[in-house]
């Protein structure tokens, strides 16, 4: 019993270490009990005979790829399951490991035959036995749930909970703070600020649920009007920022913003009530799209925005400098 426990612990240690000596034989020879235990933990062992690229998998690897157990696997066909980015990185690391006799760890994404996307953590080690063909072998671990949790936490930290847009912290870190070192956004076209007119009146009359509904619709419309934006963020209660790249002249950007202001006035339906919410905007253009002061741009855009608040929806361009 003691020996069985020691053997069973090895694959789990290998999640953070070089694949263990236990797997230096063909992985398919793993004890059936250990094979089932590994599969239940969403871990599988694998090897690739480099003389003919023959693959050998344990049950856990078949499960990750969504293939019937004991299916004959061809490496060229298996590569088709990987996303392009993961496949390219896998091939690069694999070549390095073979050339240098090393090892690597890679998180790769695959699309299974049933269409489901999965993430796996690949542990690989190059081995050159004295009396046999060289092999690349290791472990594959399903880390899809880990990736989903990580993505959920990232969204929670980076996105506004109500609208789903980037939050103020992300806006500041990617634009304002980076701009202080002149590296905020590559080739900046304009910073556009939007603010809802008389939003407080909606909250006062209909309550915060109605106000929240208006903000959600406004954010959705703003994203659809500027799908090419480098960043769209909610930076205040009813204030939004859109950072545009330097892909069109200033006059074209001004025209787009004016069209957006008109379309943003479209009625919003909430619980059988119809609201019409207008917005004001302020635009600031950098003199040099590659070298600018993000803080100064924000001040100019903000000044232009509040200069138009009394006009309810007309765009005012700040002085270019």
The enclosing domain of 9 has a CATH number of 3.30.450.20
Please check whether residue 53 lies inside any domain of the structure: yes
Predicted TM-score of the model (pTM): 0.57
Whether residue 104 is found in the same domain as residue 211? no
H-only helix segments in the chain: 2-13, 32-40, 59-65, 75-79, 84-100, 144-158, 168-171, 177-179, 199-206, 208-225, 250-263, 294-308
H-only helix segments in 163-289: 168-171, 177-179, 199-206, 208-225, 250-263
Q: Of 149, 175, 193, which residue sits at a domain end? A: 149
The predicted structure's pLDDT at residue 306? 85
Q: Of 105, 124, 149, which residue sits at a domain end? A: 149
Q: How confident is the model at residue 64 (pLDDT cuts 50, 70, 90)?
A: very high
Whether residue 163 is found in the same domain as residue 104? no
Q: Of 149, 167, 194, which residue sits at a domain end? A: 149
- For residue 106, give its domain range: 2-149
Catalytic residue among 31, 238, 247, 302: 238
Q: Which of 78-87, 265-274, 275-284 is the least confident region?
A: 265-274
Whether residue 129 is found in the same domain as residue 35? yes
Whether residue 212 is found in the same domain as residue 103? no
Whether residue 64 is found in the same domain as residue 135? yes
Average pLDDT estimate for 291-302: 90
Please check whether residue 210 lies inside any domain of the structure: yes
Task: Answer yes or no: 238 catalytic.
Answer: yes
pLDDT digits (tens, 9 = 90+) for 200-244: 888 888 888 988 999 999 999 999 999 999 999 999 989 999 999
In a 3-state reduction of DSSP, which class is residue 160?
coil
Please check whether residue 154 lies inside any domain of the structure: no
Highest mean pLDDT pick, 20-24, 167-171, 174-178:
167-171
Number of domains the chain is built from: 2
Whether residue 220 is found in the same domain as residue 241? yes
């Amino acid at each position: 019993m003691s020996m069985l426990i020691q053997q069973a612990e090895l694959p789990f240690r290998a999640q953070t270490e070089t694949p263990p000596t236990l797997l230096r034989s063909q992985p398919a020879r793993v004890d059936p009990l250990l094979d089932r235990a590994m599969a239940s933990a969403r871990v599988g062992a694998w090897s690739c005979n480099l003389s003919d690229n023959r693959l050998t998998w344990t049950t856990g690897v078949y499960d990750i790829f969504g293939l019937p157990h004991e299916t004959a696997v061809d490496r060229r066909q298996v590569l088709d399951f990987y996303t392009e980015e993961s496949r390219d990185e896998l091939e690069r690391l694999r070549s390095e490991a073979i050339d240098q006799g090393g090892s690597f760890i890679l998180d790769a994404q695959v699309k299974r035959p049933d269409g489901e996307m999965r993430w796996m953590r690949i542990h690989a080690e190059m081995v050159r036995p004295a009396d046999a063909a060289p092999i690349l072998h290791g472990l594959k671990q399903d880390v899809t749930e880990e990736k989903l949790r990580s993505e959920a936490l990232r969204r929670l930290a980076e996105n506004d909970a109500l609208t789903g847009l980037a939050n103020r912290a992300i806006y500041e870190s990617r634009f304002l703070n980076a701009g202080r070192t002149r590296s905020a956004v590559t080739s900046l076209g304009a910073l556009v600020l939007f603010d809802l007119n008389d939003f407080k009146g909606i909250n006062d009359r209909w309550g915060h649920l109605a106000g929240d509904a208006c903000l959600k619709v406004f954010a959705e419309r703003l994203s659809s009007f500027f799908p090419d934006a480098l960043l769209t963020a909610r930076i205040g209660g009813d204030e939004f920022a859109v950072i545009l790249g330097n892909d069109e002249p200033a006059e074209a950007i001004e025209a787009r913003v004016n069209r957006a202001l008109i379309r943003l006035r479209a009625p919003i339906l909430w619980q059988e009530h119809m609201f019409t919410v207008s917005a004001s905007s302020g635009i600031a253009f950098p003199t040099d799209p590659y070298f600018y002061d993000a803080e100064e741009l924000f001040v100019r855009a903000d000044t232009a925005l509040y200069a138009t608040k009394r006009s309810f929806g007309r765009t005012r361009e700040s002085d270019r400098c």
